[in-house]
Amino acid sequence: MPNRNIDHAFTARSKTGASFEPTYAGALSFMRRRYTKDVKGADAVVWGIPFDAAVTNRPGARFGPQAIRRASAILDNDPQYPFSRDLFEQLAVVDYGDCLLDTGNHQKTPGTIEREATKILKSGAFLLSLGGDHFVTWPLLKAHAAIHGPLALVQFDAHQDTWPDDGKRIDHGSFVGRAVKEGIIDPDRSIQIGIRTHAPDTFGIKILHGYEVEEMRASDIAYAIVERTGGKKTYVTFDIDCLDPAFAPGTGTPVAGGPASAWILPTLRQLTQVDIVGADVVEVAPAYDHADITAIAGSMVAMHYLGLLAERKARIDEINHNGIAANHGHGI
């Protein structure tokens, strides 16, 4: 079938609806969503945070948002696997662009991210953030916790990110411990998946180590997450180095012995019972990537978040429709 349009990111008039353009051409917003700062009526907002000054090994994650958007072009108009639906038929999603940061004054970075995230969240939309290194999750957690209270954290990662922290560090390896100490997350309802390093303190967070994940089915991992979060408002953060370097070489701190994307994506697919209120994918560093392997994995993670949202909205709409029909039948 011939393509019907081009540059949907700029020409789209609606926040819903599919894009019919070549996968190899056109403006590269995330999954061809409309670029706009107008989030009114949006169910979800995709936002890039191009920051990597907190890394402890290889830099380059500031280019992550660009790479993920570019790779998402392969997620074209077809019903998205494994959701078997056009995600945007009813789900209104916009690409908000990137966070503007002062590269010469990193102490301002967390406050800038938190303020802009808060502005987006006030609209009522779900915020899906594209990093950037993992430090960006710290101000994102604060913005979400200001609305929902202490959060359950589901962290896919090779690292615990609980190293010693003085409360002021710009560090992608210590923010989780800080979040526990400051009451931003509830460690008794939080879980880390794929951990393949050791930090001095777990802060009471449940850990599924890499070797454990290798012995588990995706359904078992998902069940462990559902059980741990226990219905609490949950933030999901996905550090792409959770995946084995064979499946995600383009990252700053790769660790061998991790799971394949074929293991972890079905886990995400089965998190329908988790009350996810915000999510991100971080640490994609395209300079170390090969054939966009890592960027494609990152875009698939992000697409899964939107797929879960689309299904949740469809369920709610169906319940509301049936409820209205039932009430109408009873004359209410």
What confidence category does residue 328 fall into, taking pLDDT thresholds of 50, 70 and 90? very low
Instruction: Give the tens place of pLDDT for each residue, 113-155.
Output: 999 999 999 999 999 999 999 999 999 999 999 999 999 999 9
| Mean pLDDT over each residue of the chain, to the nearest integer | 93
Mean pLDDT of 79-88: 92
Q: What is the pLDDT of residue 329?
A: 34
Q: How far apart are CA 314 and CA 184, in angstroms?
A: 30
What confidence category does residue 318 fall into, taking pLDDT thresholds of 50, 70 and 90? confident
What confidence category does residue 10 fall into, taking pLDDT thresholds of 50, 70 and 90? confident
Mean pLDDT of 289-296: 97
Residue 1 in this model has a pLDDT that exceeds 60: no
What confidence category does residue 330 fall into, taking pLDDT thresholds of 50, 70 and 90? very low
Strand order in the sheet with 126-131: 34-35, 93-98, 44-49, 126-131, 276-282, 234-239, 152-156, 191-195, 206-209
Residue 286 in this model has a pLDDT that exceeds 70: yes
Residue 188 in this model has a pLDDT that exceeds 60: yes
Q: What is the pLDDT of residue 331?
A: 33
Mean pLDDT of 55-79: 93
Q: What is the pLDDT of residue 174?
A: 87
Spatial neighbors of 264 by CB under 8 A, at least 6 apart, are 156, 193, 194, 218, 242, 243
Q: What is the pLDDT of residue 325?
A: 43
Residue burial 196-228, b: 16+ Cβ < 10 Å; e: rest: beebeebbebbbbebeebeebebeebbebbbeb
What confidence category does residue 327 fall into, taking pLDDT thresholds of 50, 70 and 90? very low
Instruction: Give the tens place of pLDDT for each residue, 252-267.
Output: 999 999 999 999 999 9
Instruction: Give the tens place of pLDDT for each residue, 222-241.
Output: 999 999 999 999 999 999 99
End-to-end Cα separation, the chain, in angstroms: 47
What confidence category does residue 176 fall into, taking pLDDT thresholds of 50, 70 and 90? very high
Task: Tell me what percent of the residues of the chain surpass a pLDDT of 70.
Answer: 96
Burial of 268 (0-12, 13-18, 19+ CB in 10 A): buried
Mean pLDDT of 65-71: 98
Domains of the chain: 8-329 (3.40.800.10)
